[in-house]
Amino acid sequence: MALKVKVDRELCIGAASCVAVAPNTFELDNEGKAVIKKKDGTMTSDFVNYTDIGDNEINISNAAKSCPVNAIIIVEVDDAGNEIRQVWPA
């Protein structure tokens, strides 16, 4: 099983709870919205494989659950990267 995470910028209110819980994964950009920090130094709000993030699955999951507006979406994907199901929000 592989997991991917993204930030829904339309929902994000910049509460920064995700940054507090998983600072190796999330930070706020210049618009005050959460973005995902990749191991290669780039940032995005689009889907990112957990393997491309310098944080563990528990921290990422807890950060998603800490978001007051459920703006962090986690999906399970198959080996080809196709979405199987949404893990969070359930």
Above pLDDT 70, what percent of the chain?
Answer: 100
36 forms beta bridges with 26, 44
- How far apart are alpha carbons 5 and 45 in whole angstroms? 9
Residues in contact with 60: Cβ distance below 8 Å, sequence separation at least 6, in sequence order:
3, 5, 22, 25, 50, 53, 74
Domain boundaries in the chain? Answer: 2-88
User: Does residue 1 have a pLDDT over 90?
Assistant: no
Q: Which fold has domain 2-88?
A: Alpha-Beta Plaits (3.30.70)
Q: Residue 41 gets which letter from DSSP? A: S
| Tens digits of residue pLDDT in 46-81 | 999 999 999 999 999 999 999 999 999 999 999 998
